Structure 1
Amino acid sequence: MEQHLTYFISHYGYVGIYAALALGVIGLPLPDEALMAFLGYMVSKGNVLFSLSLLSAFLGSATGITVSYILGLKLGLPFLKKYGPKIHITEQKLQWTHNLFEKYGSVLLFIGYFIPGIRHITAYLAGISGMERRTFALFAYSGALLWSFSFIMLGRALGENWHRVERIAHRYGWYLIICIVLLGLVSALLLRLRRSRA
């Protein structure tokens, strides 16, 4: 895989990273986490710039999730049911994500990036449910930034062992999600306390 990713980045550069992540978030079967971890490794070697790597990854993720949201908003659930299986969005995944979305809504949009198979569906459901654009932008884009930053930094820290990132993500991903949710709840509680005192 390293040889393919090296070839890809050397030929297509930051524009290629942007396009790959945009298409990956929309639902095409591309190795999103592996690409960002490899980017982190390339940053550690000095082959690419951290700032431009993060920017291209963030913008690609943000573009992909925005396209998914607009498709959900304009075309609705029938479109997803018809074309979803072609990009590995099965009826079972759709139903499971829909149930989670009903419970957690915008929070799932934020943490969904870290759950393989879920980040491809949350934005469609946000559009289908008619989520307000400002709410969508706040949670989707902040999630995209955190996801991009986390995996690039993880790849940078792992160095030559960057390929272990998928194993680490699958093994510890849920712990990371729990930490993010707890952090979000504590932040919301502190904000509410400040408002009540004011």
Structure 2
Amino acid sequence: MDLHDVIDFIEHYGYFALFFSLWLGIVGMPIPDEMIVMSGGFLSSLEKMGIIPAFILTYLGVVSGLSLGYVLGKVFGLKVLDKLVKKNKAKYLIKSKDMISKYGQFALVISYFIPVVRHIIPYLVGMNNMSFKIYALYSYTAGFIWTMIYFVLGFFFGKHIEHIGKLATQYGLYFGVIVMIVWIIYYCFKRKLAERLKIKRSNG
């Protein structure tokens, strides 16, 4: 399944296709989550989907898919790890363990920007009996920001989804941080400009 197939699938089956494409990321979809989220933003920009329901279903697909990983880790523990090793994901497993050792709960935030690792870390924290309350606090908050970033990128730069997806997959965390910084600068600049225009109008 390539990007065009995913876009056609989402366009044909609507919001729930968007949700399930991300929810099934837990079993390893053949296309990166970033590209699926951007597809939702792109279709919203073409007015083929409503922007608010598309974003909500996208966000719910992301967090519910990762929450399923948390539950599986909590229930099945080591059996899940054996399956990951058999799927040739041992290097990602090692990286995920190192991140949890180094960053603790914040690994849930950082991992969103690292493909494959973002699906493994919920398994590990579930297996290590992290409370769901703590898991949800970090994972759902980071998930909202992550989903917003890629949804907005898809909305404004939908024709370049494949290129952006490759950058996101290759550079992961660095790409996410750069996009966040650019977005914050843009937001602050826009806000200051609006304030200046408001002052100008009131003085005029």
Q: Classify the TM-score, shorter chain.
A: 0.7 to 0.9
Tell me the distance in 1 between the aligned counterparts of 2:114 and 2:17: 23
Q: Does the 8 Å contact 1:156/1:162 carry over to 2?
A: no
Match of 1:111 in 2: 110
- Which amino acid in 2 is paired with 1:128? M
C-alpha distance in 2 between matches for 1:144 and 1:9: 21
Cα gap change, 1:138 to 1:179, in 2 (>3 Å): farther
Amino acid across the alignment from 2:71: I
Question: Does 2:15 correspond to 1:4?
Answer: no
**CA shift for structure 1 position 93:** 1.5
Q: CA deviation at 1:159?
A: 3.0
Q: 1:186 — aligned with what?
A: none
CA shift for structure 1 position 27: 3.5
Per the alignment, residue 90 of structure 2 pairs with 91
Q: CA offset at residue 143 of structure 1?
A: 1.7
TM-score (norm 1): 0.81
AA aligned to 2:105 is S
Runs of 4 or more, structure 1, over 6 Å off, are none
Distance verdict in 2 for CA 1:46–1:177, change over 3 Å: closer
Aligned equivalent of 2:29: 29
How many angstroms does 1:74 deviate by? 1.3
Corresponding letter in the other structure for 2:91: Q
Give the 3 Å change call, closer, same or farther, for CA 50–122 of structure 1 in structure 2: same
User: Structure 2 matches for 1:158-173, cutoff 5 A?
Assistant: 158-170=157-169, 173=172
The question of whether the paired residues in 2 share the 8 Å contact of 1:37 and 1:162 is answered with: yes
Alpha-carbon shift at residue 174 of structure 1 (Å): 2.8
Greater alpha carbon shift after TM alignment, 67-76 vs 26-35 = 26-35
Rg: which structure is higher? Answer: 2
How far 1:152 moved relative to its partner? 0.8
Q: Residue 123 of structure 2 aligns with which residue?
A: 124
Percentage identity across paired residues of the two chains: 28
1:15 matches 2:20: no
SS state at 1:105 partner: helix
The residue correspondences of 1:42-81 to structure 2 (distance < 5 A) are 42-76=43-77, 78-81=78-81
- Displacement of 1:171 after TM fit? 5.4
Specify the code of the residue in structure 2 equivalent to 1:83. K
Answer whether contact 1:84 1:90 (CA < 8 A) is retained: yes
**Cα deviation code 1:21-52 (max 9, x no counterpart):** 0110x242342111111221112211111111
Q: Which runs of 5+ in 1 are unaligned?
A: 183-198
- TM-superposed deviation, 1:2: 4.5
C-alpha distance in structure 2 between counterparts of 1:171 and 1:65, whole Å: 21
Task: Structure 2 unaligned segments of length 5 or more: list them.
Answer: 182-204
In 1, the alpha carbon distance for the partners of 2:13 and 2:40 equals 13
Partner Cα distance (1:104, 1:89) in 2? 25
Partner Cα separation in structure 2 for residue 56 and residue 102 of structure 1: 32
Cα deviation code 1:129-163 (max 9, x no counterpart): 11111110101111221121111101112132222
Deviation per residue, 1:161-181 (Å, 9 max, x gap): 22222133145533355579x
The Cα shift of 1:105 comes to: 1.9
SS of 2:48 mapped into structure 1: coil
TM-score for the superposition, normalised by structure 2: 0.78
Q: Secondary structure at the match of 1:130?
A: coil
